[in-house]
Structure 1
Amino acid sequence: MVSTSYSHQILDNIPNSVFVINVHANGLFSIKDVNKAQLAFINKERDEIVGKYTHEIFPAEVANHLKNVYQRCVNEGKRISYEEKINLPDKGERYYLTTLTPLNDDDGSIASLVGTSIDITEQKLTEQSLRKSEEQYRGFVQNSTEGIYLFEFEKPIDTSLPPLEQVSMFFKHGYLAACNEAMAEMYGYNDSSEIVGKRLEFFFGSEKSEHSIEYFKNIIDSNYNIKDALSIELDKDGNTKYFFNNISGIVENGALTRVWATQKDVTTEKAAERKLQESLAEKNTLLSEIHHRVKNNLAVVSGMMQLQAYEADNDSLKEKLYDSVVRIKTMATVHELLYQSQSFSKLEFSDTLTRLVENISETLQTTTNVEVDIDCELIHLNINQAIPASLIVNEVLTNTYKHAFPDKEEGNISFTLSERDKLIRIEITDNGIGFPTDKNLEQGTLGVHLIDVLSQQIEASYEYENNKEGNGTSFSMSFKRTDSSEIADHQLS
């Protein structure tokens, strides 16, 4: 027979709490024996509790709880297990899994209960944390306005296969494993259960469609992680739907096993974009037609004037006709550059100036070799300012070509375009003969009148004078650059 001392040694070396309870006929329970772990748990000495009833040791609430679970074990006559949450003074709230096993006497009645308690606090806290995390995740997924889904594959996809083979395997083995309600609604369904389990063909139609192949190849080429991938799919009624997808594929041991993704329905935006493109195409067609008609009409008018100038016997008339030809070509140049630019509200002004010089040189044939130095900053002007400013430059340059170098073999014109704090400054100087001292610009020719009128249109100030050194003239003009793109009336009055 095993001695009591030896029994205590065995019990005391068990790390978990072990206790033996005597079952009394009067329905009471007393402590028969406990090990050190149990004594430490209840913070008692062995002689304080052994042989005493539970209600003599523990507070009434605890004693009643112990009596109920002990009686339950006796009534059921078999091993029972239950979890307990106990608030310990030195350890705080702890969780225990307790098991009670009934021991029968010689007559078959239950004489005692053997109990063990295991501390499962860490396990319970982990379970609670996981449950909370899962609840938060489910709440996030279900309340999200974006579609959230999981695609899985009945057979993992070998990522070493050629892209087209992988696409084929996607359609063969892929299915929707889970999704939120928002995704189901995007396809016209009321509940996610209506689409969970569906194959890829259900959403994309044929795997052979050009877009499907391109879409899945892009996913493969992006190492199964891609943002804003545009998919074209079908809803419940067969209507085309457009989605932006953020995809994250899970690759394990060289095989794609599943794909997590979010999607946003952009069908409405795509429809608006398509209408905008159609409208833009119509406007481009209209603008192209207008451009060709204006260009042709200006060319006809210019040609007629050149023909009249060629046939004119009056030198004064011929000169005026050629001046008008240059003005028409200036307007045509601005119009052409505006049509060629990416914006119909503004154009790059230095290009305009270069073309103006070329047109004037070609039209006003002179025996003097005129060298033009152009120093222009990259400045954009809206059409309301570009046309008047170009016509002003045209008048100044035309006048310079015609009058600045009558007896010279060579001449120089310097042109500067700059901007400071939205203030545009144009400077044109030459090394010609200058103005006659008796010439009054305020009572000048049509060209001077045009400069006055045009400068008023763009609220510009200008000076036109002889250089102080006595060689040539200097023209300077300043005006505030505006961003207005409204169509303006450039009538000369």
Structure 2
Amino acid sequence: MNQWIILHSSEGRILAMNLPESQWEGKTIGDLFNGTEAILGQSGTAALRCKPEFVSMTSSEPDVVAKWKRIRDQYWLELTTSSDSGAYPENFPKDLFSNDLPFRQVFETNQAIKWILDPETGGIVYANEAASLFYGYSREELMSMKITDINILSQEVVYEAVHSAAIESRHYSLFKHRLKNGEIREMEIYTGPIRLNGKILVFSILYDVTDRVEAVKKLEESEKKYRSIVENASDAIVITDRGARLLEVNRRFEELLDYSKEELLSFKLEDVLDTNSWRETSEIMPNLIVGRPVTLQRKLKSKSGTLIDCEINAVLLDSDKAMGIVRDVTERNRITEELEKSLAEKEVMLQEIHHRVKNNLQVIASLLGLQYENYEDPTIRSALLESESRVKSMALVHSESYRSDNFTEVDLKNYFYSLSFNLIRTYEASQRIMLDLEILPSKVTVEKAIPLGLILNELLTNSVKYGFPGERKGKIRIRLESDERGYLLKYEDDGLSYDRDFLERSGSIGLQLIDILTRQLRAKSDFKTGEGIKFTLRIPE
């Protein structure tokens, strides 16, 4: 008779066949035969109609007789059509399979490691070529050995497993086997009893799963390490499902809310959030579901009902789970609130200081103005007017700071504009002297703004007094730029030219004041005369 043997899974997927693997790989018995659905998963005999693909593969007749044998969750399918003799492989104990040719054929043709054991002695009755290649022993050597020569466990444990397989109480084992070269491999073994020539033996299919076992071991170690990190983290950690049910919590989360782990795992997230916090949290859930990490502050309820201020960093773990890292920020919020309160008080106090300083300077400027009115001597009047403008320039700094959100800084653009136009008006020169300002918006400290303002005040005063005397008209250009080295102040006018000697002879302290303030700012200045004056001041950052 022509005979074929197929080893297939309970779902019908072909695992082995006594034909070249390229012909049956990836196929199911449903691909080769009609009517298999009704008998799939059963044992017994049935007539099958071959599909054209099987007929083409085997040159078989369309109708075959099929005999099923179940071994755990796998099935031997024997197919019979017409006669065929077939020879036994070399060194095969011919009397063993004399009445079961199909079984012998699949035993030899499939590449899986297989052997047959005697449950009474533990001896290896027969091993296929794949077993010989894997273990490194010849077939003759294997068939002279006992399973205990290969399995590294005790004889009692090994024999118990073999006997259990013989009576069908055990079909799967995971053992360590020693190869001929001494290497130890993890072997996954599927076993079942077979009757050959009236004798019950144990048939085994073996798979080397060493790599898989090592991978699982590493995965378990990684998971153990991860669990240890999570469990002992200083922050509370909670894992929820898509329905916001608590799936896992660490020890710190239990301590934070004063619940046991068992209690917490019966809760939903809304059970540990106050009403407002839960409503706000549910509104941002869509962001979390699409994979956006979320940071939020919420109030959690402890077992006693106490509300705890918490910062929660939530992230999606996978499509069904999210993790939240929860930190108690009650103390941080308290300190922040106290600092904000203290800062507000200091801002009020600083605002009051600037206001008072500004008022005091304005009083001084007013006194100088009164003195100015009481003198007829032009030299004295000039000195008083210059002093008044200097005091006003300092008062203006505090006025700008007073109106600013930041009391420690001054906006130079507003300050320079106000200072320049106020001084021109003080000298009643706004109709004949045009101001052209390009000031970069920038903020500097009060300590830096005051000397800069005084320098600009002196430059403007000198231009009005000496560059544009009488009714002379002209233009003053002021530029403030910045680069990586700091600020650059450029000042020039198109009035009469005068040099340093002239200023010193005039008795003005303006030039001396500019030099002193330049050193105070650690700046560098350059004073040029010609058609008017040109002054530059490089101020470091």
What is the TM-score of this pair, normalised by structure 2? 0.65
Q: Distance in 2 between matches of 1:350 and 1:408?
A: 29
Q: Secondary structure at the match of 1:289?
A: helix
Aligned counterpart, 1:138: 227
Compared CA separation, residues 326 and 10, structure 1 to 2 (3 A): same
Aligned counterpart, 1:118: 205
The offset of 1:391, in angstroms, is 1.2
Q: Distance in 2 between matches of 1:336 and 1:63?
A: 92
Of 100, 113, 118, the residue aligned with 1:21 is 118
Compared CA separation, residues 125 and 418, structure 1 to 2 (3 A): closer
Task: Give the stretch that moved more between structures: 378-387 or 32-41.
Answer: 32-41
Of 345, 370, 381, the residue aligned with 2:433 is 370
Q: Highest relative contact order (Cα 8 Å, sep 6+), 1 or 2?
A: 1
Of 310, 316, 335, the residue aligned with 1:242 is 310
The offset of 1:334, in angstroms, is 1.7
- 1:425-451 Cα offsets, whole Å, 9 max, x none, are 544333323349994615613545544
Letter in 1 for 2:99: Y
Of 433, 440, 448, the residue aligned with 1:385 is 448
Compared CA separation, residues 89 and 270, structure 1 to 2 (3 A): farther
The offset of 1:387, in angstroms, is 0.9
Q: Distance in 1 between matches of 2:164 and 2:520?
A: 108
Q: Distance in 1 between matches of 2:368 and 2:283?
A: 63
Letter in 2 for 1:204: L
Task: Give the stretch that moved more between structures: 122-131 or 176-185.
Answer: 122-131
Does residue 1:87 correspond to 2:178, yes or no?
A: yes
Compared CA separation, residues 43 and 283, structure 1 to 2 (3 A): closer
What is the TM-score of this pair, normalised by structure 1? 0.70
Q: Distance in 1 between matches of 2:437 and 2:154?
A: 102
Aligned counterpart, 2:252: 182
Letter in 2 for 1:119: L
Letter in 1 for 2:241: E
Q: Distance in 2 between matches of 1:456 and 1:129?
A: 69
The offset of 1:41, in angstroms, is 6.6
Aligned counterpart, 1:360: 423
Does residue 1:96 correspond to 2:185, yes or no?
A: no
CA contact (8 A) 2:237 2:253 kept: yes
Compared CA separation, residues 295 and 103, structure 1 to 2 (3 A): same
The offset of 1:361, in angstroms, is 1.9
Compared CA separation, residues 345 and 30, structure 1 to 2 (3 A): closer
Compared CA separation, residues 321 and 143, structure 1 to 2 (3 A): same
Aligned counterpart, 2:282: 216
Compared CA separation, residues 84 and 310, structure 1 to 2 (3 A): same
Compared CA separation, residues 60 and 339, structure 1 to 2 (3 A): same
- 1:94-120 Cα offsets, whole Å, 9 max, x none, are 403254649899xxxxx9542122324
Does residue 1:481 correspond to 2:481, yes or no?
A: no
Aligned counterpart, 1:281: 344
The offset of 1:278, in angstroms, is 1.6
CA contact (8 A) 2:118 2:201 kept: yes
Aligned counterpart, 1:434: 497
Q: Secondary structure at the match of 1:13?
A: helix
Aligned counterpart, 2:236: 147
CA contact (8 A) 1:73 1:79 kept: no
Q: Distance in 1 between matches of 2:524 and 2:163?
A: 111
Compared CA separation, residues 30 and 380, structure 1 to 2 (3 A): closer
Compared CA separation, residues 136 and 18, structure 1 to 2 (3 A): same
Q: Secondary structure at the match of 1:204?
A: coil
Aligned counterpart, 2:68: none
Q: Distance in 1 between matches of 2:539 and 2:407?
A: 20
Compared CA separation, residues 475 and 141, structure 1 to 2 (3 A): same
The offset of 1:424, in angstroms, is 5.4
Q: How does 1:48-447 map to 2 (within 5 A)?
A: 69-70=158-159, 78-81=167-170, 82-89=173-180, 93-97=185-189, 99=191, 101=193, 113-122=200-209, 124=213, 127-128=216-217, 130-152=219-241, 156=243, 174-185=244-255, 187=256, 189=258, 192-193=261-262, 195-206=264-275, 209=276, 211-221=277-287, 223-234=289-300, 236=302, 238-248=306-316, 251=319, 257-303=320-366, 305-306=368-369, 309=372, 318-341=381-404, 343-366=406-429, 369-376=432-439, 380-418=443-481, 422=485, 426-435=489-498, 439=502, 441=504, 444-447=507-510
CA contact (8 A) 1:11 1:18 kept: no
Q: Distance in 2 between matches of 1:309 and 1:450?
A: 21
Aligned counterpart, 2:42: none
The offset of 1:230, in angstroms, is 1.6
The offset of 1:261, in angstroms, is 2.9
CA contact (8 A) 1:150 1:176 kept: yes
Letter in 2 for 1:10: F
Task: Give the stretch that moved more between structures: 239-248 or 63-72.
Answer: 63-72
Q: Which runs of 5+ in 1 are unaligned?
A: 106-110, 157-173, 252-256, 483-493
Letter in 1 for 2:118: I
Q: Secondary structure at the match of 2:315?
A: strand
Q: Secondary structure at the match of 1:6?
A: coil
Compared CA separation, residues 65 and 395, structure 1 to 2 (3 A): closer
- 1:223-269 Cα offsets, whole Å, 9 max, x none, are 45343512222364614222131321755xxxxx5433333444444
The offset of 1:85, in angstroms, is 1.9
Q: Distance in 2 between matches of 1:402 and 1:184?
A: 80
Task: Give the stretch that moved more between structures: 211-220 or 349-358.
Answer: 211-220
Q: Distance in 1 between matches of 2:259 and 2:278?
A: 26
CA contact (8 A) 2:137 2:180 kept: no
CA contact (8 A) 2:358 2:396 kept: no
The offset of 1:397, in angstroms, is 0.7
Compared CA separation, residues 340 and 192, structure 1 to 2 (3 A): farther
Q: Distance in 1 between matches of 2:119 and 2:524?
A: 115
Q: How does 1:445-460 map to 2 (within 5 A)?
A: 445-448=508-511, 450-451=513-514, 453-455=516-518, 457-458=520-521
Percent of aligned positions that are identical: 22
Q: Distance in 1 between matches of 2:501 and 2:189?
A: 118
Q: Distance in 2 between matches of 1:63 and 1:230?
A: 57
CA contact (8 A) 1:83 1:98 kept: no
The offset of 1:294, in angstroms, is 3.0
The offset of 1:178, in angstroms, is 0.6
The offset of 1:409, in angstroms, is 4.9
